[in-house]
Structures are given as C-alpha cells and as structure tokens.
A and B are shown apart, each in its own frame.
Chain A
Amino acid sequence: MTAAIETSALTRRFGSFTAVNQIDLAVPQQSIYGLLGPNGAGKSTTIKMLTTLLQPSSGTAQVAGFDIVRAPVEVRRRIGYVPQMLSADGALTAIENLTLSARLYGMSAAERKTRIAEALDFSGLAEVCHKLVKTYSGGMIRRLELAQAMLHHPAILFLDEPTIGLDPVARRTVWERLQALRRDFGMTILLTTHDMEEADVLCDTLAILHQGTIGVTGSPLELKASVGPEATLDDVFVAFSGGTIQESGSYREVRQARTTMQRLG
C-alpha cells in the first residue's frame, strides 16, 4: 500500500532562514502520525505546505496520491485541516459554520443535510448547534472544528496542536473522536503536539523535528527503547531536540489562551 503522505527533501525557506530543511516523511495509510518538536521547529510550516497553504521552496510531496504543487485542488478535495489557531467563526452558529464548509466542498442540499447531521452527532453539538460559536467552550470549539474538517470525509486529516489549551476531559474527548475517525472512515491523521502523553497514547508513529530537520522517527515504543530502558517520551524529546519541554510549552500556551480569550470575547 502506498503512503498517504510522502515527502522528498521538502524544504521551505523564509528569506535566508530555512524553516523546514529537506525532510523526508512517509505517513502510512490509516495511521495516526505525530509531529513533535520544540517551538519554531517547523511543524506548522510543514503542515501548511502539505495542506497547500504554503508553497515549498524546494522538494516535493505527495498527499493522498497527488502532488501538492502540481495538483493542489485534488489534494484539497481529499484533506481536512484544523489550524493551530481557533478557526471556527465565532460570529456564526455551528450549523452555519458547517453549512459554509459543506457548500465550499460542493455538497448538494441533500448531502449537506445528512453530513451536517452526522457531524453534529459526531461532535456532540447537536443541542447547541443554533448557538453562536463564541459562546462555546474551548473544547466545544475544537470538536466543531474537527466536525468541520471531517464533514467531507477526507482521506487525510491535518491537525495542528488539536488539544492545546483543553482541559483533560476535553482532551480525551478529542482523542476518542480522532480514533473514531480512523476506525469508522479509515482516515489518516497527521497531527502536531507538545503533549507527550498525547503522542504516547494516540500516535502510531512519531517524528521529532528540530530546527527544520527530522531528528528521528519511530513508534513511541521504539523511540523510548532507543534512548534507554526506563526512558519516557519526555526523555526522547529532549534527546532528539536538544531542548526541554517545560521551556517550550509555556509561551505557546499563553499565546493560545490569549487567542481563545479574544475569540470568545
């Protein structure tokens, strides 16, 4: 079986700065693949290239069987994306957000109806679907965003820090939803995270990115074993990224929390 995502020397420069440097990734079909790495490692930049939002400076990538530069529209038809920021529109209701997505994916009225019902069911937001999204909790917004991203049953889902800023319960709910998407629809999921527990519990394969290059890839078990018999993923992270998790998490969380506040306010 061919890989869902395959990159070859994928590179992105901003001016003279290389944010993503010649990375080779192969993400197996129907896997949950985690991109880890300290702030500024190039995780979001990689996802933006794979979702066709950003042109690579050099290198190539195939996503769902199509080249991201030569056939971006074909790629877009087959992917869903939840950005690092909160991307549901707070001035609209859940239904209106979902309807917008459904229309942009060219669904007929009948199809829209069933898919939106399915998505509301999936996200557990049916009861509040006529309320403005700005009145939702962070967890509800994330679930709505997931619902929006899965509405058209994409082959591949890209999630940039899907559980950042969520409480433990909301976080687990997101994990369950993601596992359900893989189980029920055979979706491949590529996510970034700073949460080692998330990486450990949810992901089949991890790649640790550091200054734009991939330090190591492997299953959580393999990676831990490679560092030492008692090693945790935290140790793996430190070993391959030369940073510490404590340092990296904080500012990001502050920023994210602020975005959430603005969003809700």
Chain B
Amino acid sequence: MTMMRFLMESAAVSMAELHKIARDPTEMFSRAIQPVLWLVIFGQVFSRVRDIPTGDVTYLAFMTPGILAQSVLFSAIFYGIAVIWERDLGIVQKLLVSPAHRSALVLGKALSAGLRGLVQAVIVYLVAWLLDIHLRWEIIPILEVLLAVILGSCIFSTFSLIIACIVKTRERFMGIGQVLTMPLFFASNAIYPLEMMPDWLKLVARLNPLSYLVDALRGAMILGGHSTHGLFLDFGIMVAVFLLMLVVAAKLYPGLAR
C-alpha cells in the first residue's frame, strides 16, 4: 500500500516532466548534435589511430557506447539547474508542502531524466546505424541497453540534484557543472580502454560510475563488444550507487525550500 503510494507519487512527478519533454522537440534535436559530432568527427579521426586496443571491434564501434554514456551524462548533469530554477519560482516549495515522500519526489525527477536518456539512446542508435556501425539488434541486449541508460540517467541527474541542493544558486551550479562533467567523461572508459591509462587514472576511472555504464553498454550494444566486469556487476554497482544518491538527495532536497 505505502509502496503503491510511493510509486504513484514518483509517477506524478515523472509524468509532469514528461509533458514538458514532449513539448520541446527542438531540445531533442539540439541534444542529438553532440553525439553526432563526436561519432562523425572525433570518431572518424581516432579510427585512424592504430594503437588503441579495442579488441575485436573497430574504434568507432568501441566508442559508440561511450558516446551514448556521454550524452546520458551531459543531459542528466544539468538537471540540477532546472531544480534551482524551480526553487527560485516556488515550485519546489509547493512539492515539499505536499505529504508526498521526499524520496518519491526525487525518484520522480530521476525517472524523468531516465526518459530523456532513452531518447538519447534512440538518437545514438540511429546515428550509429547510419554510420554502419555493427550493433546488436536482438531484443534482450537492447533492453539491457535501455535499462542501463535509465539507471545511468537516474544516477547523474540525482547527483546533479545533490549538487544543486548544496550550491543553491544557478551561477555556482554552472561553474561546478562544467568542472565536474569533463573529468567524469575523460576519467572513464568512454573513449579509450582502461588499459591505456596510467595507474592513478585507472583508479579514478574505477571509482567513476560512468565507467560501469559504459562497460554495460559495451557488452550489450555492439557486435563483438564485451563487458569487462560483466553485466551483473555493472548493474549491481549502478543500482547501489543510485540508491545511495537517492538517500542523500532525499535528505538534502527539503533544504531547498529555505
């Protein structure tokens, strides 16, 4: 009963977000640009570098899951901005005076980021298909990809929410957002294998949740691709990280009403 109630509260928030997403197709379009640029320009150039050990797959195929993970990260990480905006307007306060569970509100936001992530996935699949990258089109791997994308979006949007709760102003958020996304992206296995990194960076990449998203995607998305840790571990770690973020965010979120 309480569980039902909880899920309904989350769904309420997600559905409101969904209406906004559906209303802004141009946003979808502009979000498509970045992955296209990475795959078409960066990917084409780096394909010529023979020394990148990508296993049985081409470099372009190798980086495709990384680019999907990147676009998930980049779109989710600015979720906090929207929340700060909502706080300045009084929308957050309105949500918080309702009897809804705080973590349900946070989960609702996260799930809507997941929905946005799914759109990113569709875009990257489309671009990859046009570039003739060999993808796995079976149903189970695709579901794995979608689930991984939702989880990744949930993690990074909630992370973003936590930062928003701490910094509370747009200016500071923009600063921190920039400072965080690039290292998260580059200190991961998104566009080069971990083996190429110096040891200290390997360690950072291992602690970086993005690496597990990329690893899961690499196993499920491309023909001949394989996941280093295995899907089970990748998903396990992502779920654990998300739950931790959810708990922290639910604790901090009410502080935004001050």
A residues near B (Cβ < 8 Å) are: 48, 51-54, 73, 76-77, 79-81, 83-93, 96, 99-101, 103-106, 148, 259, 263
Contact = CB atoms under 8 A, between A and B. Distances in A.
Contacts of A76: 97-99
Nearest to A89: B91
Contact of B90 (A52, A79, A84): A84
Interface string B234-258: 0000000000000000000010011
A84 B93 CA distance: 10
Contact of B8 (A80, A89, A96, A103): A103
A148 B95 CA distance: 11
B11 A103 contact: yes
Contact of B97 (A53, A86, A89): A53
A91 B23 contact: yes
Interface in B1-57: 5, 8-9, 11-13, 15-16, 19-20, 23
Given A101-B98, A103-B11, A87 B90 contact: yes
Contacts of A105: 98-100
B7 to A, nearest CB: 11
A52 B257 CA distance: 10
Given A53-B257, A92-B20, A100-B12, A81 B89 contact: no
Contact of A87 (B9, B15, B93, B100): B93
A225 to B, nearest CB: 37
B135 interface: no
A83 B95 contact: no
B88 interface: yes
B90 A85 contact: yes
Given A54-B258, A104-B13, 17 more contacts: A51-B97, A53-B257, A54-B257, A73-B99, A84-B90, A85-B88, A85-B89, A87-B90, A89-B16, A92-B20, A96-B19, A100-B13, A103-B15, A104-B98, A106-B5, A106-B8, A106-B9
Contacts of A48: 257-258
A84 B257 CA distance: 12
B172 interface: no
Interface of B: 5, 8-9, 11-13, 15-16, 19-20, 23, 86, 88-91, 93-100, 254, 257-258
Contacts of A91: 19-20, 23
A77 B258 contact: no
Contacts of A52: 97
Given A54-B258, A91-B20, A103-B9, A148 B97 contact: no
Contacts, number: 83
14 contacts: A53-B93, A53-B257, A54-B257, A87-B94, A88-B91, A89-B86, A90-B89, A96-B19, A99-B12, A100-B12, A101-B98, A103-B8, A105-B98, A263-B89
Contacts of B19: 91-93, 96
B171 to A, nearest CB: 15
Contact of B99 (A77, A89, A100, A263): A77
A86 B86 CA distance: 10
Going nearest first, the 8 A-B pairs with the smallest beta carbon separation are A103-B12, A85-B90, A87-B90, A83-B90, A53-B257, A104-B98, A76-B99, A104-B100
Contacts of A87: 89-91, 93-94
A100 B16 contact: yes
A101 B254 CA distance: 17
Given A91-B20, A91-B23, A104 B90 contact: no
A84 B88 CA distance: 11
Contact of B96 (A53, A90, A92, A101): A53
A265 to B, nearest CB: 12
Contacts of A90: 89
Contacts of B86: 89
Given A53-B93, A86-B89, A106 B99 contact: yes
A45 to B, nearest CB: 9
